[in-house]
Amino acid sequence: MNARERILAVSISLLLIVVGGYFLFDRLEQGLSNRRQQIDKLEQQVVTLERRVRSGKQADARWVGYREQSLPADHELARSLYQKWLLKEIDAIGMSGVTINGVPATSRGDALHLHAFKITCKGNIEQLTKWLHQFYSVDILHRLRQLTIKPQSDSKLLDLTISLEAVSLVDADVSELPTRASRRLQREGIAPYVEAIIGRNLFGPPNQPPRMAALGTQRGNPRRPLTFAAKAEDSDKLDQVTFQLVEPQLSGAKLDPRSGAFQWTPSDNGEFEITIEARDNGFPAKTSQQKIRLVIADPPPPPDPVVEKPVKKKLDFDPARHTILTGIIGNDANREIWLTIRTTGEIQKLHVGDRVTIGSIEGKVRQITGESFELLTDEKCLLVNLGENLLQGREVTKPAEAPR
Q: What is the pLDDT of residues 197-254, one digit of tens each?
A: 877 666 667 788 999 999 989 999 999 999 999 999 998 888 899 999 997 778 899 9
pLDDT surpasses 80 at 133: yes
Distance CA 342, CA 357 (A): 15
Instruction: Kindly report, residue by residue over 275-321, the tens digit of the pLDDT.
Output: 999 999 887 888 999 999 999 999 888 887 877 666 555 667 888 88
Percent of the chain residues past pLDDT 90, beyond the cut: 40
Terminal-to-terminal C-alpha distance of the chain: 210
* E-assigned strand segments in 196-256: 211-212, 217-220, 226-229, 232-233, 241-246, 254-255
Distance CA 147, CA 363 (A): 97
Provide the residue type at 167 as one letter: V
Distance CA 180, CA 53 (A): 29
Percent of the chain residues past pLDDT 70, beyond the cut: 94
Mean pLDDT over 37-58 rounds to 85
Quote the mean pLDDT of the chain. Answer: 86
pLDDT surpasses 70 at 1: no
Q: What's the confidence (pLDDT) of residue 259?
A: 95
β-sheet with 323-329: strand ranges across: 323-329, 336-341, 346-350
Q: What's the confidence (pLDDT) of residue 313?
A: 59
Tell me if residue 6 falls in helix, strand or coil: helix
Find, among 266, 276, 289, the residue nearest to 219 by Cα.
Answer: 266
Residues paired with residue 261 on neighbouring β-strands, in sequence order: 229
pLDDT surpasses 90 at 97: yes
Instruction: Kindly report, residue by residue over 314-358, the tens digit of the pLDDT.
Output: 667 888 888 898 888 888 778 899 899 888 889 999 988 999 998
Instruction: Please give the residue that has the higher pLDDT: either 56 or 86.
Output: 86
Give the pLDDT band of residue 404 (cuts 50, 70, 90): very low
* E-assigned strand segments in 109-253: 112-123, 142-151, 158-169, 211-212, 217-220, 226-229, 232-233, 241-246
Cis peptide leading into residue 319 (ω within 30°): no
Give the pLDDT band of residue 108 (cuts 50, 70, 90): confident
Distance CA 24, CA 13 (A): 16
Instruction: Kindly report, residue by residue over 6-46, the tens digit of the pLDDT.
Output: 777 777 777 777 777 777 777 777 878 888 888 888 888 88
pLDDT surpasses 60 at 400: no
Q: What's the confidence (pLDDT) of residue 224?
A: 94
Report the range of poorest mean pLDDT among 83-87, 242-246, 263-267, 311-315. Answer: 311-315
Give the pLDDT band of residue 403 (cuts 50, 70, 90): very low
Within a 13 Å sphere around the CA of 213, how many CA atoms are in the beta-carbon half? Answer: 9
Q: What's the confidence (pLDDT) of residue 385?
A: 92
Distance CA 346, CA 297 (A): 64
DSSP calls for 103-135 = EEEEEETTTEEEEEEEEEEEE-HHHHHHHHHHH
